[in-house]
Amino acid sequence: MQVFKLCMKIIRKNKAAMLVYVLVFLGIAILISRITAQHPVTSAFSTAKANVAFFTEENTPLVTGIKQELSKSSNFVKIEDNTEALQDALYFRQVTYIVRIPKGFTDKIMNGEKATLERTTVPDSVYGTYIDMKINRYLNMASLYVNSVPGISQEKLVSDLKDDMGKSALVTMTSAKKANDSEKPFTAYYFNFLAYVLPAVLIFGISIVMQIMNEKDRRSRTFCSPISPKSYNAQLIFSIGFLAVACWAVLILPCAVLDPSHFFQQSTWYLVLNSFVFLLASLGLGFLISIFVQGMSAVSALANICTLGPCFIAGVFVPQAFLGSTVLKVASFTPTYWFVKVNDTLASTTHFSYDVLSPVYGDILIELAFAAAFFAVGLAGSKRKRLET
């Protein structure tokens, strides 16, 4: 077990660096899960209320009427009335529609003249069409009254409009699709973000060990010794496996502490199993990278591609439901896709019947196949390298 002992020694010597990786990525995982669990991504698209900033330069019953009518379809957002604040809010979708009623607007409407109010919205957006429709409806009806009932008072107009606008069509909901995304607990998000954190920590951790083990002189010296390459590789993989399991345990535990009510549920054990298999795939990936790439800047550049890239296309940062089918097809060539798919399936079910679990096991097997493939290519690469030297 000399190789294993040496690896342990290297790990001990570099424990500060390893600790930095684990703590930083742990922090990132907790932060992202916390914040995403507070604002589920779906809410931005599924609420049928647009965020509206409402400014008016006059206060008349009609303006109040417009505002009241709009409140049925909008959340009014209070915001500072200066260009930069408005632009910023529009960009980050804190508001999606800004309406400004100019002075003299009410008089023009009451006299049947042409009047316009100013609006700014995300160009060509759904929100724009929706709120435009609401405003135009209200004002068209108002002008209908003004033109047809001569001398109608503003108060009467607003109260009549209020009655008319109260009429609403009957909507039947079929229960074919139920909205479930909004109820996901912290644990569900946390396990998804492990798809970013686990490979990142492992690639860096393994690279530290392997950079030292693969140094040219040290390698040559090691292979002079009477240790068979098979035993060397087995011990090497065993020691990085040891490192991986330690990291995995450290990364899973905080979830139990932070969200105990959801963590100790039956579904979590499947999540844990899934993350363990994903750990094997990440381990394989880390091993593969460290065989082929030398130098920390190259490793960290490559690690970025292998961790952030799949997370974007496989549904970690952007839910799978929002991704196009082509994107998901590309993503299915990464273990991350299958990991997230299993997590999402588990998060949306409460009954763990055979029908639910059999595709889950299938997907977990695919992750396992990825792990096997990474190790196979890694070992082949390591053999080629040995023969070259």
Partner 1 sequence: MFAHIFTNRLKCLVRNPITLFWTLIFPIVLGCFFNLSLRNVYGDETFSPIPVAVVNNETYQKDAAFQTALKSVSEGKDKIFTLTIATKEKAESLLADSKVAGILNDGTTIGMTVNHSDFNQSILQSFLDSYLQTSSAVSSIMSQNPAAYQKMAENLKDQTDYTKNVPIGNASPNGALTYFYTLIAMACLYGCFWGMQEVTDIQADMSQQAARINLVPVHKLKIFFSSLTAAFVINFSEILIFLAFLRYVLNVDFGPRTGFVILTSLVGCITGLSFGSFISAIVKSGEGLKTGICLAFTMTGCVLSGMMSQDILYTVRQNAPIIEFLNPVNLLTDSFYSLYYFTSLSRYWLNIGLLCAFIILFCTVTYLIIRRRKYASL
Residue 17 three-state SS = helix
Residue 261 three-state SS = helix
User: How many C-beta atoms surround the C-beta of residue 101 within 10 A?
Assistant: 23
User: How many C-beta atoms surround the C-beta of residue 169 within 10 A?
Assistant: 4
Q: For residue 81, which of 61, 101, 62, 66 has the smallest C-alpha distance?
A: 101
Given the complex with partner 1, which of 268 and 315 has the nearer CB atom? 315
Question: What is the maximum alpha-carbon separation in the chain?
Answer: 107
Q: For residue 233, which of 287, 293, 303 has the smallest C-alpha distance?
A: 287
Given the complex with partner 1, which of 1 and 133 has the nearer CB atom? 133
| Minimum distance, C-beta of residue 133 to partner 1, in the bound complex (Å) | 6
List CB contacts of 315: < 8 A, sequence separation 6 or more: 192, 323, 328, 331, 337, 340, 341, 344
Given the complex with partner 1, which of 92 and 354 has the nearer CB atom? 92
Given the complex with partner 1, which of 170 and 224 has the nearer CB atom? 170
| Minimum distance, C-beta of residue 72 to partner 1, in the bound complex (Å) | 10
Given the complex with partner 1, which of 91 and 264 has the nearer CB atom? 91
Given the complex with partner 1, which of 104 and 295 has the nearer CB atom? 295
| Minimum distance, C-beta of residue 205 to partner 1, in the bound complex (Å) | 10
Cβ atoms of residues 101 and 66 within 8 Å:
yes
Cβ atoms of residues 302 and 289 within 8 Å:
yes
Given the complex with partner 1, which of 173 and 224 has the nearer CB atom? 173
Q: For residue 262, which of 346, 359, 358 has the smallest C-alpha distance?
A: 346
| Minimum distance, C-beta of residue 60 to partner 1, in the bound complex (Å) | 15
| Minimum distance, C-beta of residue 225 to partner 1, in the bound complex (Å) | 25
CA distance 184 to 33: 11
Report DSSP letters for 189-231, one per residue.
Answer: HHHHHHHHHHHHHHHHHHHHHHHHHT-HHHHHHHHHSS--HHH
| Minimum distance, C-beta of residue 357 to partner 1, in the bound complex (Å) | 26
Class of residue 115 by CB neighbours under 10 A (exposed 0-12, middle 13-18, buried 19+) = middle
| Minimum distance, C-beta of residue 120 to partner 1, in the bound complex (Å) | 5
| Minimum distance, C-beta of residue 265 to partner 1, in the bound complex (Å) | 25
Residue 51 three-state SS = strand
What would the two tokens of residue 274 be? 């899934």
| Minimum distance, C-beta of residue 101 to partner 1, in the bound complex (Å) | 10
Given the complex with partner 1, which of 318 and 356 has the nearer CB atom? 318
Given the complex with partner 1, which of 131 and 279 has the nearer CB atom? 131
First to last CA, the chain: 24
